[in-house]
């Protein structure tokens, strides 16, 4: 079975500083990996996805993530945090039938 580990349930960053959200996955085969963002009272929105193409994946709003098979990691980064980045972020692994397994999430707070 696929699973995802997200440490640091709450992350505080200052506006304009880098954001780093860590994700490690477990999968019995080559996984598809995603990062989703959830703003308060809004649905889940896809930030980016990795599906065995380039290991460095660029997403929306300046986010990117790097797939490292040797470390079973898929960390999410952004060079400069914006106030609008305050939200909950989920790392997700997909099984072969596209059933999604979510991590517990990172609640990001951006300090002005």
Partner 1 sequence: DAGVTQSPTHLIKTRGQHVTLRCSPISGHKSVSWYQQVLGQGPQFIFQYYEKEERGRGNFPDRFSARQFPNYSSELNVNALLLGDSALYLCASSQEAPMNTEAFFGQGTRLTVV
Q: Provide the binding-site residues for partner 1, judged by CB under 8 A.
A: 32, 36, 41-46, 49, 51, 90, 94, 96-105
Closer CB to partner 1, residue 41 or residue 84? 41
| CB of residue 91 to partner 1, shortest distance in Å | 9
Contact 4, 92 (CB under 8 A): yes
Task: List the one residue out of 37, 26, 48 whose CA is nearest residue 95.
Answer: 26
| CB of residue 44 to partner 1, shortest distance in Å | 4
| CB of residue 15 to partner 1, shortest distance in Å | 25
Closer CB to partner 1, residue 97 or residue 112? 97
Closer CB to partner 1, residue 36 or residue 81? 36
Contact 31, 9 (CB under 8 A): no
Cα within 13 Å of Cα(35), Cβ side:
28
| CB of residue 83 to partner 1, shortest distance in Å | 22
Closer CB to partner 1, residue 51 or residue 80? 51
Task: List the one residue out of 83, 42, 76 whose CA is nearest residue 59.
Answer: 76
| Residue 91 in tokens | 């790392």
Contact 76, 16 (CB under 8 A): no
């Amino acid at each position: 079975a696929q699973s995802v580990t997200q440490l640091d349930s709450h992350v505080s960053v200052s506006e304009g500083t880098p954001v780093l959200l860590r994700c490690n996955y477990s999968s019995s085969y080559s996984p598809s990996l995603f990062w989703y963002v959830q703003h308060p009272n809004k649905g889940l929105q896809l930030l980016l996805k990795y599906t065995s193409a380039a290991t460095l994946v660029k997403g929306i709003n300046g986010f990117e993530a790097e797939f490292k098979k040797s470390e079973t990691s898929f960390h999410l980064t952004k060079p400069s945090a914006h106030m609008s980045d305050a939200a909950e972020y989920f790392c997700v692994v997909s099984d072969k039938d596209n059933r999604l397994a979510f991590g517990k999430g990172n609640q990001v707070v951006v300090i002005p």
